[in-house]
Structure 1
Amino acid sequence: MLSKNMFNKTGFVRTFQKHYGLRLARQILTDNGSYYYNPGIEPLTIATLGDVIAETAHKYPGRVAIRSVHEDLTITYEELLNKADSLGCALRAQGFQKGDRLGLWTHNCIGWVVGCLGATRAGLISVLVNPVYEKAELRFCINKTKLKGLMIGDTLKNRDYYGLLSALVPELQTSKEGLLNCKEFPSLTTVINSGKQTFSGVSTLDSLVNNHKNNADITKYGKEVTPKDGSLILLTSGTTGDPKAGLDSHTGVVNNVYFSGIRNSFHEGHPIVCVQAPLFHALGAIVTLLSCLRHGATVVLPAPTYNVAANVDAICAEKCSITTGTPTMYLDMLEHVQHAGELPIKLRVALAAGAPCSPQLIRRINEQLKVQSVRALYGLSETTACVFQSLPRDSVEVVAETVGYTADHCEVKVVDEKGNNVPYGTAGELMVRGYLNMIGYWDDPAKTKQTIREDGWLHTGDKFTLSEDGYGKIVGRLKDIIIRGGENIAPKEIEDLLNTHPDVVDSQVIGVTDERLGEELCAVVRLRQGATFTPQDLTNHCKGKLARYKIPRILKIMEEFPKTVSGKIQKFKIKELIDSGKL
């Protein structure tokens, strides 16, 4: 058993501590403006992710852990742990050592979950890779994190994992399983398919699990890992375009999923939770999947990729009581339900996260989906996941106007350009300090130092206001990132590609307001004299070189970009012209 505090033993004491903790948190203020510290309703758990998942499995062995509707598969907690342990032992037998990286480059499926847990149980680090990455993006990820293994998926209608990987790694087709020797990627030795298809040079998950059913050695491997070690790597966009690889610790993941899960009511009864977000995303993997597995909830995977009809069908057919998703996903759900008519949706909780959510949408979710409690969450990959989150008792008005209350065991402050705290209610940059902050960016000490100060405060790059009672409100973003439907997109990467077109002199990619996605990508280009450039030309130029969600849907043409005296392009003025309809 994991070490637990006496406050866990009786309902009376836990209730007392909860209310005392919130009162204490409200007292830990300063006279120097926007600062808040929440000491937490319970002590931090000092354990590894593998240990706490095993504890849940031993507590609820026969309970369904994952229901994959599109695969028509159901797996209990006991079965999930056994498969994960067998995979972990198989990887160790193939030469993986503590701290080696296993990339998860596949869609939502049970195999993804087994891969993630197998890695953590064996002391490896899972790297969560976007399944729609094209060759250039995948190449960067493999080299950046020095992947030793890569999990792919069965071929889907629009996703041929093996075909794309074979083009990148031609040695794969003639390689023996687990013995890949690639000149461009010397670290990569193993490719695993999470599904049922067989490919040359690729091991199947089932074969690895079946060949290592005697998985007793997993205990030995688990003892090598400490709570301070790295657990997961989340890839997050930077302003340069190349993803930054944020390494989160076991302590960060274990506690963030625990406290976040309590605020999502994952610990109450036996909730059935529908996952709308992709599992490579922090909302899908940490806030939903791992948080559910920490608390013994059942996770429902409706479809391999995002599909609003499948999500709604699963919520109804599987009798889901909780769902999580981005604002865009809820807009799609509202539209779908409106056309479908009366449906047996009985959601107790709906969490909106991953991008700023409008107050109007929060109210629509509450009213039109008849959800008992709508909740909001704000976080970053660099802070494991959650920094602010609604409390269960928060009113619709509070949820609509804020991103929630400060996370347990977390310090937040809002500062001006000089780093001084601003008055409560005044906008500035949000900074965060606590157990939840990442260890750092993988193999990038310079960027780590830019993001995390020596005193432990992490720059979010987001513009916030903070209230005296610990609630945050996002005002905008200081960093040059566009959030389209919950996906973080770096404009420079797209601009650099557009600028390679022979007819494009220069380009700027702007995020413009979109009712469904929150922001849509708009490419604003300057053309060589006499040239023409159409939206189809733009798409053709980017196709196969960028993930589809990064390709701009809107095209505008300008003769000159507005600039400062020093020659710096003023993106905000371009955006103002577009928003006002003048461009």
Structure 2
Amino acid sequence: MTEPASSYAHGASDQSMLGDTIGVHFDRTVARWGDRPGLIVRQQGIAWTWAELAERVDAFAAGLVAIGLKPGDRVGIWSPNNAEWVITQFATAKAGLILVNINPAYRISELEYALNKVGCKALVTATRFKTSDYIGMINTLAPELAISHPGDVHAARLPSLRAVIQIGGDDPGTFAFDKLAHHGREADRQRLKDLAPQLQFDDPINIQFTSGTTGLPKGATLTHHNILNNGWFIGEVLHYTEQDKVCIPVPMYHCFGMVIGVLACLTHGAAIVFPGEGFDPLATLQTVAEYRCTSLYGVPTMFIAELDHPDFATFDLASLRTGVMAGSPCPIEVMRRAIRDMHLTEMTICYGMTETSPVSTQTRIGDSLDKQVGTVGRPHPHVEIKIIDPDGRIVPRGEKGELCTRGYLVMQGYWEDTEKTAEAIDVAGWMHTGDLATMDADGYCAIVGRIKDMVIRGGENIYPREIEEFLYRHPAIQDVQTFGIPDERFGEELCAWIKLRPGETLTEEDVKAYCREQIAHYKVPRYVRFVDEFPMTVTGKMQKFIMRQKMIEELG
């Protein structure tokens, strides 16, 4: 009897990986496609060629050098999607600076932690977005800004920070983004040219925060080689050329926007198209129709919002052919509607994580509908995948186990955290994802659960321990457990069960109000229940599956 094949697959490919830094590759793209559309930002009225984008990137990079930033320094960016985000992404890469992505939904405590965790010397920030007053929050953290000269910040709570660069404003103590480009002198531009051959593609270039069971975000540290090649192979799978225009309504602070979006465009000369600062279904549909976009990105909830928009039928979307749906499982009916009603006949599904730059597996153009909705694809070029049991042995195909990935795409590690890095990446170089998966006879993987108790709400990863650690700070709360429950709109919503200290009283609204000004909106529990005790095992372990089931029954 033949033994079943093992759950191991390798994305064997005769396509070479790129051996460039992002800055060098940016210059190659500009030299080859300089007169082609490079960046379109609808809400800002911007339509630049690659050459016009390059002028602004080089000027801003020189400005960063002029204020004393040196290779290896960390520069935070705290902003919704806009042209300045893209300029900053490429300018920091050219100057050898490590760009630190900060979620636009972060509040004061999260910002303080992120900036200090990696020692940001500079922060590029929007003035405000939706309900977030960024400059107000920065001034709360660093009141010294108001009496500082730009570039001379010495804040007690942010000891590493030296410069704040403000998009769309010129508050005291900050550099105006547009003006900083004029700080660069010829000597600074020459310094950038001299730096180009010195920078290496294995240098870290990006830090993105991701949480874990400890509850405190960890800084996944990614190199030029990691993210440039991931963007390159995503574009190859999608058959991108310089004729494509890619509509990117997903956020830039996440790999979905800055790698799957921007770097896939960079490596193929395709146009980067932003429909707005944040996701809006109407603006997305308008942008696709107005600019004749050929590719569209989103998590499933975004596509549902677009398809269900009352004006959907009025838009000509015939220019679309491909795109990426990722972030959470795709319902089969949503994929059918996207193919039928949005002309997305070459739509693909991606799977990955921040620590893997991000894409490990992707469906391919021409795959059956069953593969598109029932799996997350097969390994990317030059990527290995295996599925293992709790003892680390590879399981037979079709059996469930933990998905692990290995290759150029695995991060360098968590910033200055060797212990957590060793927990995630084993001695053989395998990244342990914490996701439970199966692999079929064709090497296609399906995600069937999570080892880690993570909640995915509308494509946003929420780690219950992080929320619990935050709620424990409330003086009236004795104990708390958070978990996800199914939701038709967002996939999952967060629920908190809270045990109060003796004699204390709180309402559900009290808890939500406490969260709103301190943590990102998507982390605020949708449901709050007050309990006297929690279901536990005889050994004292919390049984969240029982809590979850009770909430499902209560909510019907």
Common fold by TM > 0.5: yes
Aligned mate of 1:235, from 201, 209, 214:
209
Q: How far apart in 2 are the matches of 1:312 and 1:213?
A: 42
Contact kept, 8 Å, 1:86 with 1:213, in 2: the verdict is: no
Opposite residue 403 of structure 2, the aligned amino acid is: L
1:254-285 deviation per Cα after TM superposition (whole angstroms, max 9, x unaligned): 21110011112322x51111111110011111
Contact 1:535 1:553 in 2 (8 A): no
1:427 paired with 2:400, answer yes
Structure 1 equivalent of residue 60 of structure 2: 87
Q: How far 1:529 moved relative to its partner?
A: 6.4
Consecutive aligned runs of 4 or more in structure 1 exceeding 6 Å deviation: none
Q: Residues 35 and 414 of structure 1 are in contact (CA less than 8 Å); yes or no, is this contact kept in structure 2?
A: yes
Q: 1:68 maps to what in 2?
A: 41
Question: 1: CA distance between counterparts of 2:10 and 2:36?
Answer: 37
- Superposed counterparts of 1:162-561, under 5 Å: 162-195=135-168, 197-212=169-184, 214=186, 215-267=189-241, 269-336=242-309, 338=310, 340-346=312-318, 347-527=320-500, 533-561=506-534
Q: Which amino acid aligns with 1:232?
A: N
Distance of aligned partners of 1:582 and 1:82 in 2 relative to their CA distance in 1, 3 Å threshold: closer
- Say yes or no: does 1:52 pair with 2:25: yes
Structure 1 CA distance for aligned equivalents of residues 135 and 102 of structure 2: 15
Segment of structure 1 superposing worse, 496-505 or 469-478: 496-505
Once residues 379 and 358 of structure 1 are traced to their aligned partners in structure 2, the CA distance between those partners, rounded to angstroms, is 18
Give the secondary-structure state (helix, strand or coil) at the position aligned to 1:388.
Answer: strand
Q: Per-residue deviation at 1:534?
A: 3.4
Could you say what secondary structure the match of 1:295 adopts? coil
Whole-angstrom CA distance in 2 between matches of 1:396 and 1:461: 27
Q: What are the superposed Cα offsets for residues 352-381 of structure 1, whole Å, 9 maximum, x if unpaired?
A: 012232333222322333322221000111
Please, which moves more after superposition, 248-257 or 209-218? 209-218
The 2-side partners of 1:185 and 1:538 are apart by 28
Q: Secondary structure at the match of 2:261?
A: helix
Higher deviation after alignment, 169-178 or 407-416: 169-178
Q: Which amino acid aligns with 2:63?
A: A
The amino acid across from 2:238 in the alignment is N
Residue aligned with 1:148, SS: strand
Q: Which amino acid aligns with 2:533?
A: E
The CA RMSD over aligned residues, in Å, is 1.9
Q: What TM-score, normalized to structure 1?
A: 0.91
Distance 1:118 1:48 in 2: 12
Residues 221-276 of structure 1: CA deviation (Å, up to 9, x unaligned): 22221111112111112222221111111111121110011112322x51111111
The offset of 1:425, in angstroms, is: 1.0
Aligned to 2:120, the other structure's residue is in SS state coil
Q: Which residue of 1 aligns with 2:82?
A: 109
8 Å CA contact retained: 1:384, 1:437:
yes
The amino acid that maps onto 2:198 is E
**What's the offset of the Cα at 1:125?**
0.9
SS in 1 for 2:15: coil
Q: Which amino acid aligns with 1:153?
A: A
Contact 2:33–2:50 under 8 Å retained in 1: yes
Q: 1:500 to 1:243 in 2, by over 3 A?
A: closer
The match for 1:12 is none
Instruction: Using the TM superposition, name which of 254-263 and 86-95 deviates more.
Output: 86-95
Q: Secondary structure at the match of 2:9?
A: strand
Is the 2:5–2:397 Cα contact (8 Å) retained in structure 1? no
1:564 is matched with 537
TM-score, length basis structure 2: 0.95
Deviations 1:185-210 (A, max 9, x none): 22211111233x21111112221213
2-side partners of 1:371 and 1:32: how far apart? Answer: 34
User: CA deviation digits over 1:67-113, x for unaligned, max 9?
Assistant: 11111122221122222122222222222111111111111010011
Q: Please, which runs of 5 or more residues in structure 2 have no aligned partner?
A: none
In structure 2, C-alpha distance between the alignment counterparts of 1:564 and 1:69, rounded to whole Å: 55
Q: After superposition, what is the alpha-carbon deviation per residue over 1:115-157, rounded to whole angstroms, capped at 9, x for unaligned? A: 1110001111111110111111011111111101100013334
3-state SS, counterpart of residue 231 of structure 1: strand
